Structure 1
Amino acid sequence: MKDFNVMALLLNPEFSSMLLSGLKVTLFVALGSWLLAMSLAIVLLAVRLSPSRMAQRIVEAYISYHRNIPTLVQMMLWYFGIANFLPDAVQAWLAENQAEAVFAVIALGLCQAAYFCEDLRSGFRAIPMGQTEAARALGHSYTGAMRHVLMPQAVRNAVPALVNHSVSLFKNSSLAMAIGAAELTHAVKEMESRTFRAFEAYLIATVIFLIISLLIMAVGSWIERRTALTTAR
């Protein structure tokens, strides 16, 4: 049994470079999928709140699908299935530009959009009905009322739930390893296979994931306090 020695990994130039590279991919996947998820969630919410029954049913079906199929299955479907239907030129470009990370962003973003949409809808329900009537009285169209009056309040109300799901999204970025993305977990697994220091390698990954998750929660708490102060004024 090897002696416990985390520094043997951290001070090794090759392994520290692997960790840094893996962390960059993890942050790329997490941030890219978060931006996609939030943008799409806002669109989905606006459509779901529209008068069109057909549009509402389509959004409901989208949310039901992504909330009931495991994220890992969705990721594999995109990488091993849908990717094969893309034009050859697109597949060639993806192969040269970290296709695994790109499809991880798409799969995570589309999946998480369903959860963000539900968070925003809960925040929207907390808005007093008078706000909608006031926006219409001021001459706002449906789109204008959503953009300038209702959506900002919905986002503010949904901050705690959005932060929790943002942390979940960041942790789920490790699933990208299953399709070959060279993210942090993949780098740690490679370190472990070369050194047989499993405990030290996965301890490093644990600490990094913990620190970043706590930072996300801290930023969320700060935003929540700021929005509470704004509302109080």
Structure 2
Amino acid sequence: MQGEAPDAPITWQAIRDRMMQRIRTRAYAPGSLIPNEVELATEFDCARATVNRALQDLAASGFLDRRRKAGTRVMEAPRRKVTLDIPQIRNEVEARGQTYGYRLLLRETITPPEAVTQTLHLSGRERLLHVHSLHLADGVPHMFEDRWIVLDTVPAIEGADLEYVSPNEWLVRESPYTHGTMEFQAVAAGTAARHLGCAPEAPLLSISRTTWMYTAAITHVQEYFAPTFRLGMEL
């Protein structure tokens, strides 16, 4: 009829969802080849690029195995790929309905100790920005961080007012990274105790994180959370 709008083209998200339903119901069995992009584009009446985007997303999520010239197969044992964004401590605190606070305790530019040099794969001759910071929730110590920043990689941080903005917040906003490592440990508070208001032998959650821009190290930080801290993740 005149005036009727044409049907909107199918989105890649809709194709992804339909393909995922077929995988879950085993219409596409584990290990089996699925139709190629041309066949799927014909079925869904869309561009091949739209199908490709949907299949890329399913492959990135661990449900499909895509190989050039060998086709695309359903994974025998689908595995979710975990992606963790580096959190801004301010956002974590405020998401709990608490008031965020921050204090810069130490700022110095020095040659790092050997352990840090090895972690960051440095020569040992570099001078790094070394920072101690305390993050608070409703005025109570929430997390103490001991951070090393490679000035050769992020020289702009030398001009940052770290009394006003924490290194965590500055780096998340200003310094993109390509990859990194993260380790979780249960440790005794030790020297962090005086900043977190607990006994040196108190058990704490500690997170060690190192980030890189390709082969150039950006930062290594050790975070110590107050004894009352609870870590939650969405899977």
For normalisation by structure 1, the TM-score amounts to 0.22
For normalisation by structure 2, the TM-score amounts to 0.22
Choose between structure 1 and 2: higher strand proportion.
Answer: 2
Higher relative CO (Cα under 8 Å, sequence separation at least 6) belongs to 1
